[in-house]
């Protein structure tokens, strides 16, 4: 039994209401999509079959949701028990992140009613990267809910279920570490297949490795980002000492990533392209500048124990990592003459709605279920 407790308190806060309102817009556009088809709300076309729904909701969103992955890796695989208080909030965010990525894919596939075929063994194509990603993410969503389910067990006193869960939880955690390792690298493999359509600054056989590394450091950055916000918002007490330890691990991964990234560009002779002043060259520089800012801030030990510097670094790293993924999936992707794409209002509202839903569900769950361990007594509970 963990020391986590439900926070309680008022549910219908202004933040929650705004999120619900945006979710309302989401429902309107989602209904329109299901009744009149994708074309009625989206700018997706034959040249850009993957738009913001895939690029943000799945590719970037699942990297944001890698907090649960990296914390499970740290605590259960590397046995760093000291970070245990961070696991459950990270899992909660991952759970919603991945679930809503699944929702987004459901909106994005044309014949959504055929989606069940994914789970029929005789329909499976084991040579498809897309199948690997879909199966892996589809399974990981269930694994995340089960990984989080001890919170339900504690809340509702589900003793029998709790006993079963205790017996299989090691397998769930092993899956919870294995699956993201698989599909996060496969997200890179998918764009490897884009061939010459993808700009050489992003198209490299190292894409799977780069995607896996971005998932790792973005997961850590997300834990810091989320933890900083929730500790302030819910008055949970200070977690900076834990964050500073996490950030030093993250710094090594980030440094390793940047070495590989630049070595790769040098090796393929694309450095001139990067500094050519072209739009894509500048996007490459911006992406890596953001990551370098994060690396630079975190390289000093005093900054690592400073909440503000930590927060800024985490945001810079999240933005840089996201930009890398956006660049790979949309910005650096050129399907041929004349094709253009910019997310339409409907597409954007769907994405914002998913983010709003995530925030709303997160704030709801932390108040109802035992997620956070409070370090200091709460003086007032409005």
Question: Residue 72 Cβ, how far from other proteins at the closest point, in Å?
Answer: 26
Burial letters 174-197, b for 16+ CB under 10 A, else e: ebbbebbebbbbbbbbbbbebeee
Contacts of residue 319, defined as CB under 8 A and 6 or more positions apart, other chains included, come to: 290
Mark 45-84 with x for binding to other proteins (rule: CB under 8 A) and - for no binding. xxxx------------------------------------
Inter-helix orientation angle 84-108/207-233, to 10°: 120
Helical spans, DSSP H, in 7-66: 14-36, 52, 61-64
SS3 content of the chain, % helix, strand, coil (to 5): 75, 0, 25
Question: Residue 119 Cβ, how far from other proteins at the closest point, in Å?
Answer: 30
Mark 265-304 with x for binding to other proteins (rule: CB under 8 A) and - for no binding. ----------------------------------------
CA distance 362 to 131: 29
Tell me which residues in 315-354 interact with other proteins (CB under 8 A). 315, 338-345, 348-349, 352
Instruction: From 11-19, 27-35, 83-91, 190-198, give the range in contact with other proteins by CB under 8 A.
Output: 11-19
Give the one residue of 129, 177, 178, 309 binding other proteins; rule: CB under 8 A: 309
Interaction of residue 121 with other proteins, rule CB under 8 A = no
Interaction of residue 373 with other proteins, rule CB under 8 A = no
Cβ pair 227, 241 in contact under 8 A: no
Question: Residue 327 Cβ, how far from other proteins at the closest point, in Å?
Answer: 16
Using CB atoms within 10 A of its CB, is residue 264 exposed (0-12), middle (13-18) or buried (19+)?
middle
Interaction of residue 377 with other proteins, rule CB under 8 A = no
Max Cα separation, the chain? 64
For residue 5 the two structure tokens come to: 């407790």
Instruction: From 207-215, 235-243, 248-256, 281-289, give the range in contact with other proteins by CB under 8 A.
Output: 235-243
Question: Residue 247 Cβ, how far from other proteins at the closest point, in Å?
Answer: 14
Tell me which residues in 27-46 interact with other proteins (CB under 8 A). 43-46
Contacts of residue 87, defined as CB under 8 A and 6 or more positions apart, other chains included, come to: 68, 71, 72, 75
Interaction of residue 202 with other proteins, rule CB under 8 A = no
Give the one residue of 312, 364, 368, 374 binding other proteins; rule: CB under 8 A: 312
**Any idea which residue has 């992707």 for tokens?**
333
Interaction of residue 229 with other proteins, rule CB under 8 A = yes
Question: Residue 340 Cβ, how far from other proteins at the closest point, in Å?
Answer: 4
User: CB-wise, 124 or 229, nearer to other proteins?
Assistant: 229
User: CB-wise, 13 or 181, nearer to other proteins?
Assistant: 13
At residue 155, φ and ψ (nearest 5 deg) are -65, -50
Interaction of residue 368 with other proteins, rule CB under 8 A = no
CA distance 126 to 110: 22
Question: Residue 48 Cβ, how far from other proteins at the closest point, in Å?
Answer: 6
Would residue 228 be called left, alpha or beta, if left means φ above 0 and alpha means ψ between -120 and 50 degrees?
alpha
Question: Residue 347 Cβ, how far from other proteins at the closest point, in Å?
Answer: 8
User: CB-wise, 13 or 264, nearer to other proteins?
Assistant: 13
End-to-end CA distance of the chain: 27
CA distance 89 to 150: 13
Instruction: Report the interface residues with other proteins, using CB under 8 A.
Output: 10, 13, 15-16, 43-48, 228-229, 232-235, 237-238, 240-241, 305-309, 311-312, 315, 338-345, 348-349, 352, 363, 382
């Amino acid at each position: 039994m963990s020391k986590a407790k439900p926070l309680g308190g008022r549910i219908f806060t202004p933040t929650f209401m705004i999120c619900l309102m945006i979710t309302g817009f989401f429902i309107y556009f989602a209904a329109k999509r299901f009744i009149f088809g994708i074309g009625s709300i989206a700018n997706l076309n034959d040249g850009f079959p993957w738009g913001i729904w895939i690029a943000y909701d799945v590719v970037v969103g699942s990297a944001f949701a890698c907090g649960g992955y990296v914390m499970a890796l740290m605590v259960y695989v590397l046995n760093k028990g000291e970070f245990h208080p961070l696991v459950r909030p990270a899992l909660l965010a991952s759970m919603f992140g991945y679930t809503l990525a699944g929702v987004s894919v459901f909106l994005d596939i044309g014949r959504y009613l055929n989606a069940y075929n994914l789970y029929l063994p005789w329909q499976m194509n084991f040579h498809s990267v897309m199948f690997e990603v879909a199966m892996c993410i589809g399974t990981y969503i269930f694994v995340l809910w089960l990984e989080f389910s001890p919170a339900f067990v504690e809340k509702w006193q589900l003793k029998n279920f709790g006993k079963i869960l205790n017996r299989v939880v090691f397998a769930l955690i092993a899956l919870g570490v294995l699956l993201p390792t698989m599909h996060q690298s496969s997200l890179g493999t998918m764009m490897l297949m884009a061939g010459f359509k993808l700009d050489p600054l992003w198209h490299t056989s190292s894409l799977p490795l780069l995607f896996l590394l971005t998932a790792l450091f973005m997961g850590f950055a997300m834990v810091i980002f989320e933890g900083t916000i929730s500790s302030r918002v819910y008055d949970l007490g200070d977690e900076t000492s834990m964050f500073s330890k996490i950030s030093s691990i993250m710094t090594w991964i980030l440094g390793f990533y940047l070495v590989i990234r630049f070595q790769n560009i040098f090796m393929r002779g694309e450095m001139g392209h990067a500094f050519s002043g072209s739009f894509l060259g500048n996007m490459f520089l911006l992406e890596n500048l953001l990551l370098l800012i994060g690396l630079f801030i975190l390289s000093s030990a005093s900054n690592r124990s400073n909440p503000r510097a930590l927060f800024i670094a985490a945001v810079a790293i999240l933005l840089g990592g996201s930009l890398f993924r956006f660049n790979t999936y949309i910005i650096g992707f050129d399907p041929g003459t004349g094709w253009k794409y910019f997310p339409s209002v409907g597409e954007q509202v769907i994405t914002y709605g998913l983010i709003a839903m995530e925030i709303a569900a997160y704030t709801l769950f932390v108040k109802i279920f035992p997620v956070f361990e409070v370090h200091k007594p709460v003086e007032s509970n409005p």
